[in-house]
Structure formats: structure tokens, C-alpha cells
Amino acid sequence: MYHILAADSIKEEGLLPLLEMENAVVYRGQTDSGEIPLERIDALLVRSATKVTNELLDRMPSLKIVARAGVGVDNIDIEAATKRGIIVVNAPDGNTISTAEHTFAMMASLLRNIPHAYASVKNYEWKRNQFIGSELYGKTLGIVGMGRIGSELAKRAKAFEMNVRVFDPFLTKERAENLGVISSSFEDVLKSSDIITVHTPLTKETKGLLNWETLKLTKKGVYLLNCARGGIIDEEALAEFIENGHVAGAALDVFVTEPPGDHPLLRLDKVIATPHLGASTREAQLNVATQVAKAVRTYFEDKPVSNSINLPAMSRDIYEKIRPFHQLAVQMGSIVSQCLKEGVNEISVTYSGTVASLEISYLTKALLSGFFKNRIDTSVNEVNAVHIAKDLGIVIGEKVSGNSSGYANSMSVTVKGDNRAFTARGTYIEHYGPRIVNLDGFNIDFHPEGNLLYIQHMDRPGVIGRVGNVLGENKINIATMQVGRKEVGGEAIMVLTFDRPIEDAIMSKLSETGDIVSLNRILL
């Protein structure tokens, strides 16, 4: 049974994909209410109120997925989640239109004094001269951050015949042309805009993007808007620039601390504000809740989850192509881990043939998860495998090669330890499934599954028979057996599969049969 917590008043209707699951129980409530069995929760759905901190994650040891019903994930400690192997997903486009419309409404309200005029009329006043505003028509709107919301806002501004200048370091010339906007430098946007609005995520780079220095570059009488995240415009600097008359007014939907309490900006008449309402429409809330509920359900159904923040994005089509190799990668990681029983310093994976054109970084992560599974206590998966490798000081290599050794596709992994290295090569053959075709330089061909025994021995008459005898005497049935050698009379290998694991006592007997170099049980 999966235990799912939907916090932060996520729209109930959107939870339907989860409520319909027979093997899930959905709790509603806050993580700090004391009423939720946090230690049992497998999936956590949040909006912006819940802060998914390292401490909260410590109290949720069963957590596997955090789903943010919205865009910004700055309320989630992604690093801490990733280290624990917790997948983080968001709903990136469900509230785009709502937020763009809200920003537009804020802009119009600000320039036409609507909140102030409304309050005055409600106070039975009729002061028409006091609320003279400005037209949007012909004004230059500077948009900082031309992603989903910035782009939708630009379209609306164009419809109002505004000039749109934008700054986004990742905006291509072609996209700017398609949107009919002028792509400029940040400085140029600051200097030329009558109204500036920010639509970037809150990151180390964007925190205080508009600050004491950059605000000086703006036009006197500029209007500023922040419907993205508190702190992108430095709040203290903004208050000062409004008070000294440089900034004509500001519209804020977001604050560094929410709710902002008795905030200096709220005492200023030229500031209009809403309580983080950008995404607060029925449509957006249904969209984002449905998107994340579907993502969580998909995850529990063991299917690829789109919109993951800490895994490569993958469509269903791409996943279907990668799926067979994914299983092979996990098995290969596990095989090399069990065959080289010592600390490793380096793991290098080489892809060739058809697999090389797929999302190989995902396969490398899968291989690492297979490698670490039997080595460390922490639950390890594609999300945290690279972190774990880094923490252990293991160097990860990943490359594509033109040499697939005659196979349509091939994956090869070499692990280097303090004393020796070990290599395995695998391939996926249509209708046959995954095959291991080389172990430690020996050509072989076996299906990587179940209880295996990997024996390195001298290529001498009688070795195979003696191994068979020991197993037969101990009533162990050999399911399959493959042999490989490099040269006659040199070293050779056997890979045997069984219906049950081989006990320690039998391993000792096998090691004593003569001409055995090494024995390794492999459990896949």
C-alpha cells in the first residue's frame, strides 16, 4: 500500500488519479500538523507553503517522490532529496497562462491606479483627478526571463501594441524573432524600459538581480513588477528607489518571506500587492494538481515520469526505446560489483551501436545504481547514484565508441580497483533479451538473471567434470552453463545458473576441486 500526503490545499479534483488507485491511501494535511504518519509517507505533494527541507526529509524515511504542484521548486531542497534518491517532479506549464494573465492584470492595475481608486470609491469618494494613469500602448515593456510565462506575457503585451524588449541568456535569436520581441542585453532592458517585469526562477544568479546598482540604470519613473519570486528584486533597494521617486510604482505578487507581515514595501502607497496569486485560478490549480497526481501514479506504476527535476527528461517513446538497455545496465553494474570485490576508484562505461544515440547518462546512472545496490546501505537509484559515487570519490567516465564488436548495440563497463580492473560487455538482442557477451576479456554468452556462479579456472581436462560432480553430489541442479577461454590451456571461465543460491560450504568444496583460480556468486 502506498501512503501519499497531499499538503498545501492541493485541488481535490486533481487528485483523482491517486484516489482511484486501489493500492494507495491519500492523506490531506500539513507535515507539521502532528497528525500525519510522516515515517510511512511514500509520496509528498506540495504547493509553495510546505518547505521540503533536509530536516523534513530526515523525518520521512519512506519518501520516494516529491511532487510540486507548480513551477518553482525553491521550497524543496533538491540536493538533499537527490542524495536520498528521492525523485522531484513539478508541473511546469499548468499555471503559465494564469500567471501571465495575473502579471498583465497587475501591470494594468498599477498604471491605472485601480487598487487605490477602488479603495477610494468604496470609501464613498469620487476623486477623478487623483487617479490619472498612463496607457500601456506604445510603452516599452522589459521582460527579464523569457521562458513560458515571459513568452505568454510578451504575446499579450504585443496585442496591446507595447514594444517588448527582453533579456534571457538562453533565448535563441530565432525564438525571439518568432515572438516578435527584441532580444537585448540586461543593461539595455534596464535603460530602455518604461515597465520591467521579472520571470526567472529564484537562483543564486537571479537573487537580487535588480539591486542598488542595477536599479540606478533604469529610467526615472520606471514601473517594476515581480510575479515570479520574492528577492529577484532586492526589497530594501526597491523601497528606497520608490521613496526617492526614481521608481514610479511596483506591483508585487511575491515576497522574500510569505506572508510578509508588516513589511516596509507594504507601507508605500506606490506599491500594489497580491498574496502570491499568480497561479491561483481554478484552471491552473486543476492543471497542476492533475499533472502531479498523474506523475506520482506513473511513478508507482514503474513507468517513466516526465518533468523530473533531478532525472533526465524522457518521453514515453524514448523510455520504451531505452527500457531494455536500462535493465541490462542495472544487471551489468551488479555483475561487475560482485566480480570485483574491492574498493573501486573508477567506473567507465562505453556505449556503441544503436544504444549510443539514446539517453546514455540515464543508463550510466542505472548501471551505477546496480553497482552500489549490494555495496551500501542507502537506498540507491538513478536519482542519487552519481552523488553516491562522488561522495565515495569514484571517478565516473562515459563515452561513445564506434566499435561495437560486431553487435548491433553494446555497453561495456570497466571498474578499476586498487589492485585490478574488471570489464563486462553486454548487448541487447531483439527476441533474446539482454546478454552478457564478455567478462574480464573472455567471450561468453549468457542471460544475466537469477543465481549465477562465475568461475575462473585453468583450461585443463576434467575441471568442468569435477565442478559438475561437486554440484551433483550436493543435489544442485545446473540450469544453464556457458564456458569461454582466450587460448587453449590458458585461463578460462564458466558461468553457471541455478534455481537456488549456492551455500558457503559448497563454495569451499568447489574451490578445492583443483585448477580453480576464483569463484564468485552473482545474485541478479
d(CA 465, CA 481): 12
436 near ligand NAD (CB under 6 A)? no
Q: List the single partner that 47 binds among ligand 2HG, ligand NAD, none, CB under 5 to 8 Å by kind.
A: ligand 2HG
381 near ligand 2HG (CB under 6 A)? no
The x, y and z cell numbers of residue 240, run together, are: 528606497
75 near ligand 2HG (CB under 6 A)? no
Say how many residues touch ligand NAD, by CB under 6 A.
32
- Least CB distance to ligand 2HG at residue 5 (A): 16
Of positions 21, 57, 65, 72, contacts ligand 2HG by CB under 6 A: 72
250 near ligand NAD (CB under 6 A)? no
Q: List the single partner that 139 binds among ligand 2HG, ligand NAD, none, CB under 5 to 8 Å by kind.
A: none
Of positions 168, 194, 234, 235, contacts ligand NAD by CB under 6 A: 168
- Least CB distance to ligand 2HG at residue 290 (A): 14
200 near ligand NAD (CB under 6 A)? yes
d(CA 209, CA 375): 45
Residue list 260-319, contact with ligand NAD (CB under 6 A): 276, 278-279
DSSP code string of 251-301? EES--SSSS--S-GGGG-TTEEE-SS-TT-SHHHHHHHHHHHHHHHHHHHT
The x, y and z cell numbers of residue 320, run together, are: 520504451
Are 90 and 67 spatial neighbours (Cβ–Cβ below 8 Å)?
yes
Of positions 94, 147, 231, 353, contacts ligand NAD by CB under 6 A: 147
Angle (CA) 30-33-35 rounded to 5° is: 100
Judge whether 487 counts as a catalytic residue. Answer: no
DSSP code string of 3-54? EEEE-TT--GGGGHHHHT-TTEEEEES-TTSS-S-GGG-SEEEE-SSS-B-H
> Catalytic one among 125, 258, 473, 512?
258
CB atoms within 10 A of CB 128: 9
Report which of 150, 155, 241, 248 is spatially closest to residue 194, judged by C-alpha positions.
Answer: 248
- Least CB distance to ligand 2HG at residue 89 (A): 13
47: phi then psi, degrees, rounded to nearest 5: -105, -130
Of positions 224, 254, 272, 273, contacts ligand NAD by CB under 6 A: 254
Of positions 5, 31, 36, 48, contacts ligand 2HG by CB under 6 A: 48
231 near ligand NAD (CB under 6 A)? no
- Least CB distance to ligand 2HG at residue 154 (A): 19
Side chain identity at residue 1, one-letter code: M
Closer to ligand 2HG by Cβ: residue 62 or 280:
280
Judge whether 229 counts as a catalytic residue. Answer: yes
Helix, strand, coil % in the chain, rounded to nearest 5? 35, 25, 40
* Shortest-Cβ-distance residue relative to ligand 2HG: 70
Closer to ligand NAD by Cβ: residue 288 or 413:
288
User: Looking at the DSSP assignment, which residues form a beta bridge with residue 164?
Assistant: 141
- Least CB distance to ligand 2HG at residue 25 (A): 24
253 near ligand NAD (CB under 6 A)? yes
Side chain identity at residue 516, one-letter code: I
30 near ligand 2HG (CB under 6 A)? no
SS3 per-residue string spanning 314-365: CCHHHHHHHHHHHHHHHHHHHHHHHHCCCCEEEEEEEEEEHHHHCCHHHHHH
271 to 300: interface string for ligand 2HG, x by CB under 6 A: -----x-xxx--------------------
The x, y and z cell numbers of residue 42, run together, are: 511514500
* Shortest-Cβ-distance residue relative to ligand NAD: 147
Are 205 and 231 spatial neighbours (Cβ–Cβ below 8 Å)?
no
- Provide the greatest CA pair distance for the chain: 108
d(CA 512, CA 466): 10
Judge whether 258 counts as a catalytic residue. Answer: yes
47 near ligand 2HG (CB under 6 A)? yes
For ligand 2HG, the binding residues (CB under 6 A) are 47-48, 70-72, 95, 276, 278-280
For ligand NAD, the binding residues (CB under 6 A) are 70-72, 92, 95-96, 99, 144-150, 167-170, 199-202, 205-206, 227-229, 253-254, 276, 278-279
The residues annotated with a catalytic role in the active site are 229, 258, 276
